[in-house]
Structure 1
Amino acid sequence: HFVIEAIKTLIEDIDSCHDQIAQEAVEHIHQNEVILTFGRSRTVLKFLCAAKEKKRSFEVFIAEGAPRCQGHVLAKELAGHGLKSTVIGDAAVFAIISRVNLVIVGAHAVMANGGVIVPIGMNMVALAARKHAIPFVVVAGIHKLCPLYPHNQEVSLNEMRSPSELLEFGKFSNCMDYSTGVGASPLHVANPAFDYVPPELVSLLITDVGGHNPSYMYRLIADYYSADDYFLQEKHDS
């Protein structure tokens, strides 16, 4: 019974975290600012819309997030809420970053050292922001906090997605050597799913329990994870 209730509470927290994080929007998005985001994040969408509802006027640049280009989806959603946005190619980030006041992105996971696991390509955005002294803000629910460090084996493994997201088979089939009957090819396609942004590139982490410096993550882990969690992890690793 205790486990079922705990799971129900977790589901409720996950469902409500986007709205709770969005309450912080007016503290970070100011009038006439230019915001840069990357791909699509439901938390970022709620965050931006909350600022719009509070009569903040701002512009959004959206790096499309190739190869899946979820930034196109976000642009359509923002337009539906009356927000002005401009979609750019990922390679254009450095070209427009000097016009930006603030970078706001989502994350797949927040590591124990304050670094974040994010969609592929976002580390480039973080580096551009650091180069131009622009705040790089990550919005993520507290349920994405992870007690692992980047050097842990589970973290170093990346998900390799289908090569067809980058190149359709028909577009490079002429590279195949069919004369041998083996079909060996000198061409390989790598399509990793995730990037890692180290804590020194993250200005602020905004969660449903408030905004925190990346160096504060160890305190949150102490609050949300028990020694038993670590023990189970160690047994699993062994």
Structure 2
Amino acid sequence: MIPEEVLSVLEDMRSERIRGATHLAKRGAEAYLLLAGNLRGEELRKALREMRNLLPAVNPSMASLYNLSRFIPLTDDPKVVRERVEEFLSLLETSIIEIGNIGSELVDDGDTVITHSFSSAVLSILRRAMEKGRQFRVVLTESAPDYEGIALARELEKLGVGFEVITDAQLGLFARKATLALVGADTVTRDGAVVNKAGTYPLALACHDAGVPFYVAAESFKFHPEKSSDGMELLERPYSRQGYRVRNILFDVTPWKFIRGIITELGIIVPPKEL
């Protein structure tokens, strides 16, 4: 049986509106630490088996939750769980840093970088580029209806990076003024498609039309080992405005053919030439 405090963490994760897959992976790790602190023996093993269903179900569009649930072994020893959680968190932290190092080499002086939603990996790239002395500006969408872009604007303001916030509807207009596009990912599918905040696909199309290189920043734990683009479940949340129901599918799918490369902690993965 899953302890109530663990279920409470899962519920908090389910209601998260701003932070993405990396943040939720950290919260998932927290849930495992709580399990290890409350259970042992066969009770722990049963709970870990149940978590392999419960954790990915928090947000089926995020591969990080699925991969975390498989990274933790089915064991009756709390110490093993704690050690694996610590290993996962360490890998996560070093991955973000290395993506920043690798991705920052794509940012040149005078660039206008366009992005959509909030991504820890993209923020790491922009921070590292600034540390290297690059002079650039960022165009970011407000990312309605949860306004993740405003959260990113606050982080850029702290760093002293120049930026401009636009409405989502102006993606096509401002993509033509950009020199580089950087977005994060919640999942990279087996066939190389990227699942990310809805609006990513229109941005990729606009960049493709304007000849702007479109890059995705994604830690390797966001690569789903089983799901293909046509098999992804895209989470939808209830939403209404002025009394009318508004469809609110949180994610869309961008085919690999519109992506210049996927920046990972292991290097930049580029699509096959035939695409």
- TM value normalised by structure 2: 0.67
- The 3-state SS of whatever aligns with 2:229 is coil
1:159 counterpart letter in structure 2 = L
Q: Which residue of structure 1 aligns with residue 223 of structure 2? A: 145
CA contact (8 A) 2:201 2:252 kept: yes
Structure 2: give runs of 5+ residues left out of the alignment: 1-76
- The 3-state SS of whatever aligns with 1:24 is helix
Displacement after TM superposition at 1:129 (Å):
0.5
Displacement after TM superposition at 1:88 (Å):
0.4
- The 3-state SS of whatever aligns with 2:156 is helix
Root mean square deviation, CA, Å: 1.8
CA–CA distance in structure 1, aligned partners of residues 163 and 98 of structure 2: 24
Aligned-residue identity in percent = 29
Equivalent residue for 2:236, pick from 160, 182, 187:
160
Q: Aligned pair 1:59/2:116, yes or no?
A: no
Equivalent residue for 1:102, pick from 180, 204, 207:
180
CA–CA distance in structure 1, aligned partners of residues 135 and 103 of structure 2: 12
CA–CA distance in structure 2, aligned partners of residues 151 and 128 of structure 1: 22
CA contact (8 A) 1:115 1:198 kept: yes
CA contact (8 A) 1:158 1:193 kept: yes
Query: Which runs of structure 1 show a deviation greater than 6 angstroms over 4 or more consecutive aligned residues?
Result: none
User: Any idea what the Cα deviations from partners look like across 1:158-208, whole Å, max 9, x if unmatched?
Assistant: 2111214xx1xxx22xxxxxxxxxxxxxx5431111100001011100001
Q: Aligned pair 1:76/2:154, yes or no?
A: yes
- The 3-state SS of whatever aligns with 1:68 is coil
User: Any idea what the Cα deviations from partners look like across 1:84-116, whole Å, max 9, x if unmatched?
Assistant: 000001111111222110000001011111111
1:162 counterpart letter in structure 2 = P
CA–CA distance in structure 1, aligned partners of residues 196 and 272 of structure 2: 18
Q: Aligned pair 1:38/2:116, yes or no?
A: yes
1:193 counterpart letter in structure 2 = L
CA–CA distance in structure 1, aligned partners of residues 89 and 272 of structure 2: 27
CA contact (8 A) 1:115 1:214 kept: no
Displacement after TM superposition at 1:3 (Å):
5.7
Equivalent residue for 2:264, pick from 197, 207, 210:
207
Structure 1: give runs of 5+ residues left out of the alignment: 173-186, 217-238
CA contact (8 A) 2:95 2:219 kept: yes
| Higher helix proportion | 2
CA–CA distance in structure 1, aligned partners of residues 230 and 139 of structure 2: 33
